[in-house]
A = this chain, B = another copy of it.
Amino acid sequence: MGVKERRALEKELRRNQILDAARKLLFETGMKAISINKIAQEAELGVGTIYFYYKNKEEIFAALQEEGLKLLYAKIENIYQNKKKPDKKLKEMGTAYLQFSEDRKDYFDIISYFLSSSEVIFPLNLKTQIDLSGNKILSLISSTIDDGIKAGIFKAVNSRRFSIMFWGTVHGLVQFKKLKNTILNGENHNEIYQYSIDSLIDGLYSK
């Protein structure tokens, strides 16, 4: 192994060390409580060092977001790999998203943060990363739909487009959970959520 490779490896290790600390803080105290100083302390590194490996706090958040997306991908992948029918799978994928927002609230928060905060514009390299992670998830949904089309149970829709609609819908509905005590008052959020997924899938069936 050459010097260059070793260097690159060490760099990656340090980046992970920092991410480990940030993740720990994210889990334990939530996004709001994360500061570079705290990450440095947790990682047993100098603050300056953090800045050497990450341009700023947002870049660390972005890395965590990617982790979250990967985790989500694993969940969806798992469903994709099972032997059930495409419509069943889609349903499970939708349900999984709600569950993910509850089980991995931390990661979900950070994903939502980037989605709803209007200010952040990603530098190109981050863009590419997220692109990849997000696209992979989307592809799973897409493939599931394609499978359904091929199997003849779904009509021939633009599967990519439908996937985006699918994800957009569930993402919006998950956020509406916050309204369960206000606007949803009386309505059962979970039922609405399931109903919505069902409706979406219903729209897919070939007559």
Contacts and interface: CB of A to CB of B under 8 A. Distances in A.
A14 B104 CA distance: 43
Instruction: Determine chain A's interface SS by DSSP, over half rule.
Output: helix
B195 A127 contact: no
Interface in A153-189: 158, 160-162, 164-165, 167-173, 175-176, 178-179, 181-185, 187
B182 A160 contact: no
Contacts of A127: 181-182
A175 B183 contact: no
Contacts of A169: 165, 168-169, 172-173, 196
Contacts of A113: 116
A137 to B, nearest CB: 9
The 4 closest A-B pairs by CB, nearest first: A172-B172, A168-B173, A165-B196, A168-B172
